[in-house]
Amino acid sequence: MASSSMILVIISYETNNRYEIKNSHGQRIYFATEDTALCTRLCYGSYRPFTMRIHDLKGQEVITLKRPLRCSSCCFPCCLQEIEIYAPPGIPIGYVTQTWHPCLPKFTLQNENKKDILRIIGPYFVCNFCGNIEYKDFMFYENNGCIQLLTGGI
């Protein structure tokens, strides 16, 4: 009996990802927990659907991020990445959607009414097999015509 209990513990063991969010001084100001199943994380990797809950230091949930299962291939422009942002939880405040481009990672920040408010354009010719895209230099294009080049990465 003890042996079968141990196998059950090993098979059903899964931990959701936890993240610390720190300010520029390295102090923890929030922490985030990801609600996904182990199988989802293993099978879909960085394209997995998830719900991320961001909590303050008292443990109160202050922001919720929801991302459906999508891909980021230029071959499937109908299934590009998007994420919904709620603050407080249950009240939508914005969205981030991927804009199709054959060579560039492009994203649009939208308000709660899905009106475009900001665009982010990443590095040229990104190949992200088994890795993340690093945004060392990128452009923010605002609707009012202002253009700002930011360096240093995010």
| Domains of the chain by residue range | 16-77, 91-153
Residue 11's SS3 state is: helix
Q: Distance between CA atoms of 18 and 130, rounded to whole angstroms? A: 21
Q: What's the mean pLDDT in 41-55?
A: 85
Mean pLDDT of 49-57: 93
Task: Report pLDDT for 12.
Answer: 47
pTM of the model: 0.70
Give a three-class secondary structure readout of 56-94: CCCCCEEEEEEECCCCCCCCCHHHCCEEEEECCCCCEEE
**Per-residue model confidence (pLDDT) at position 94:** 95
Condensed to tens digits (0 to 9), the pLDDT of residues 102-138 reads 777 788 889 999 988 888 777 665 555 555 555 554 5
Q: What is the pLDDT of residue 153?
A: 46
